[in-house]
Amino acid sequence: MEQLLPETLLFLIAAGFLAAFVDSVVGGGGLISMPALLLAGLPPGVVLGTNKLGGTASSLTSTVQFLRSGNIDRRLAFALFPLSFLGSALGTYTVTLLPSEFLKPLVVCLLIAVTIYTVFKKNWGAGAVYRGLTNAKRVLVAIAAFVIGYYDGFFGPGTGSFLLFAFLLLGFDFVRAAGNARLLNFASNIASLMTFLAFGLVNFVYGVPMALAMIAGAWTGSRFAIKRGAAFVKPLFVSVTTLLIGKQLWDLLLG
């Protein structure tokens, strides 16, 4: 059986906790967890699958916290759940056939637009103005759930940010938008994980300790978000999307 060195174990636990803390609120935890798994010595394909194990545990934990606090619109989010699930499963299958590198320039542009819009909408997300959906909005949000789910399975960076942004556009405040985003992110994570498991691309020796740490990180992060509200979530959202932009630009320049 594969051995995990004590220093590697501690490193993965610390990275997993921090990644899940951030991810449970605004997404972007993969900025921390995926490089950590690469540094631990796992091959890139296995890193993607093993990261989904931790991501699924993290998103489930934070989803439960947001549900218990009443910060998820159950009717809307659960209606969108299967679309995110199916999109992610299809996206993960596609990534086993095609390289995902061509998406990077598009992702950078979208993240820049999301960040700029959020920064300049000063009081955006401070209070809820959501009053239900028109038929046109139902179609658009259904398409968004499927497409973002597909993107999460196919490539991934910034999924939580895109989901949170979509719910903000519908009129939810930052905390409720984060809660809805967590549920859909759980759908895309578990679908992607099941697909990676089918292809044998999950390392449980590295993944289980990290997943346990991510459960603790997600529990802590979601409680912070619920307690502190938009004053905590919005600055973290802007900071994480800015880091995601920097990471994707760095990869493009090096590539």
For 56-69, what is each residue's pLDDT tens digit? 999 999 999 999 99
Q: Does some domain include residue 234?
A: yes
Q: Does residue 168 lie within any of the structural domains?
A: yes
| pLDDT value for 110 | 73
1 falls within a domain = no
Per the CB < 8 A criterion, the answer to whether 141 and 133 are in contact is yes
- CB under 8 A, 24+ apart: contacts of 4-7: 4/205, 4/206, 4/209
Kindly state whether residue 79 falls inside one of the protein's structural domains: yes
pTM, to two decimals: 0.86
Does residue 241 sit within a domain?
yes
> How confident is the model at residue 44, as a pLDDT?
80
The answer to whether residue 205 sits within a structural domain is yes
- Are residues 72 and 180 in contact, defined by beta-carbon separation less than 8 angstroms? yes
For 127-149, b where at least 16 C-beta lie within 10 A, e where not — what string? eeebeebeeeeeeebeebbbbbb
Q: Is residue 126 domain-resident?
A: yes
**pLDDT of residue 103 exceeding 70:** no
* pLDDT tens, residue by residue, 121-158: 766 556 767 878 889 889 999 999 999 999 998 877 77
Are 159 and 29 spatial neighbours (Cβ–Cβ below 8 Å)? no
Structural domain containing residue 134: 6-254
* Total domains present in the chain: 1
- 122: enclosing H helix or E strand: none
Please report whether residue 147 resides in a domain. Answer: yes
